[in-house]
Amino acid sequence: MGFTYRNERLFAEELDCEAIAEEYGTPCYVYSRAAMEAALAQYHQALKGCEYLVCYAVKANSNIAVLDTLARCGAGFDIVSVGELERVLAAGGDPGKVVFSGVVKRPDEMRRALQVGIRCFNVESAAELEVLQSVAAELNVRAPVSVRVNPDVDAGTHPYISTGLRENKFGVATDAAMALLRRATTMENIHITGLDCHIGSQLVDMSPLLDALQQLLLMVDALQAEGIHIRHLDLGGGIGVRYRDEEPPAVADYIAAVREALGDRDLGLVFEPGRSIVANAGVLLTRVHYLKETDAHSFALVDAAMNDFIRPALYQAWVDIQATSPNDAEPRLWNIVGPVCETGDFLGKDRELALASGTLLAIHGAGAYGFVMSSNYNTRPRAAEVMIDGNKPYLIRERETIGDLLRGEHRLPQ
Ligand SMILES: *Cc1c(COP(=O)(O)O)cnc(C)c1O
């Protein structure tokens, strides 16, 4: 669904990607509405009959058209900044379905979140809890709180996106979390509602997720014995996707295993999926400008760069790169590289492709952690974003102009 090849030409739903690139230029992010809706529906389907909330992790792709699409399908949102909260509100999302994660929530961010009435703060330290108590007291409200537990499990993913190990900055170790929860019950403006964890991203094995769940359940039972009732468990995001040949767990299997582990406990469930909702609902289109042969390599020089899509450079991520239409050239191994002045600026290495100057390429799996991580490095305007819905394209973010880039900068007085 979403992106398919018809007679060797790539289609985004009902539209030929060549036509989309003609219309909107390159580099250009293209998303499929149907693909993201289908990915979200898998969560809803697997959670039928439970008390639950699927809080899409806004950071994976925060365009307000994406948020709007998911909100209309019943999604809540996991945010990590007040900026993301404002996006959710601008997209028509329900603040009552928002959970707020992140290790540094400033008092002004807490204030805004309390004013709009979010579902829950996922608190990550004792110091944060004290500040939240005082902000809530100022507003004369009670802040709903979940404590983020760091279960010290190895998610087995790239170190930069592994978050559930003792040495990581995230969450509170189990013993300290128990102490924090006891303290929280004595705070007038704090209302404990849940426990949460998020151990990492692009997990291709569900056993670390289930290990973390077991630790949360032990805590739930121990707290119950002390008279502290936990109402929901938030298991974060992290389910991986297939970029190449990974075999991530099916959402249905993972959630079935979670439901089984809960037994007959009276617990609501929250999930915070990001990547598994949007990664394969997007491609980045980029055009080959020059072909360049050196003694060591054949380079295809394209108009997208690490500033547009940083995952290969930052995480050594492998993403599928394919031509969007057939071509007479002899297939050979190419390094696909962009215009940025860094050797680390590559999108893919040693890819067997038939390329000519002008070939349009699709970088697959670019719907998550793509546009949102783009920058203006080398004074490159950020790409356009287009959402396809059936046979209709919608420009959901205009390509930046150089004027946009210079706005807010000032020369010194003469
Ligand atoms: C990034 C993040 C997520 C989403 O992770 P995915 O791997 O994209 O599903 C969920 N929760 C928290 C707290 C996060 O930081």
**Domain boundaries in the chain?**
3-30+279-406, 33-275
**Amino acid occupying residue 152:** D
**Does the pLDDT of residue 371 top 80, yes or no?**
yes
State whether residue 261 is helix, strand or coil.
helix
pLDDT category at 159 given cuts 50, 70, 90 is confident
Question: Residue for token digits 């020369």?
Answer: 411
Q: Pick the closest to residue 209 from 166, 162, 278 (CA basis).
A: 162
341 is catalytic: yes
pLDDT value at residue 282: 98
pLDDT value at residue 343: 84
Per-residue pLDDT tens digits for 217-236: 999 999 999 999 999 999 99
**Does the pLDDT of residue 160 top 80, yes or no?**
no
**269 contact partners, CB below 8 Å, separation of at least 6:** 47, 50, 51, 52, 53, 232, 233, 234, 235, 258, 259, 262
**Does the pLDDT of residue 155 top 90, yes or no?**
no
pLDDT category at 140 given cuts 50, 70, 90 is very high
Query: Any idea which architecture 33-275 has in CATH?
Result: Alpha-Beta Barrel (3.20)
pLDDT value at residue 168: 84
Per the annotation, binding residues for substrate are 275, 311, 315, 342, 369
Which residue, by CA, sits nearest to atom 10 of ligand 1? 237
Ligand 1 centroid distance, CA of 385 (Å): 22
What number does CATH give the domain 3-30+279-406?
A: 2.40.37.10
Pocket of ligand 1 (CB under 6 A): 57, 59-60, 78, 101, 198, 201, 236-238, 272-276
pLDDT category at 390 given cuts 50, 70, 90 is very high
What percent of the chain shows pLDDT beyond 90? 93
Ligand 1 centroid distance, CA of 59 (Å): 8
Q: Ligand 1: which atom is nearest the Cα of residue 163?
A: 15
pLDDT value at residue 193: 97
First to last CA, the chain: 59
**Does the pLDDT of residue 138 top 90, yes or no?**
yes
Per-residue pLDDT tens digits for 16-65: 999 999 999 999 999 999 999 999 999 999 999 999 999 999 999 999 99
**Does the pLDDT of residue 166 top 90, yes or no?**
no
**160 contact partners, CB below 8 Å, separation of at least 6:** 314, 315
Distance CA 296, CA 177 (A): 54
3-30+279-406 matches 33-275 in fold: no
- Model confidence pTM above 0.85: yes
Ligand 1 centroid distance, CA of 77 (Å): 11
What percent of the chain shows pLDDT beyond 70? 100
pLDDT value at residue 342: 84
Query: What is the arithmetic mean of pLDDT over 307-330?
Result: 96
pLDDT value at residue 157: 79
**Does the pLDDT of residue 161 top 80, yes or no?**
no
Query: What is the arithmetic mean of pLDDT over 183-210?
Result: 96
Mean pLDDT of all residues in the chain? 96
pLDDT value at residue 66: 98
Per-residue pLDDT tens digits for 231-289: 999 999 999 999 999 999 999 999 999 999 999 999 999 999 999 999 999 999 999 99
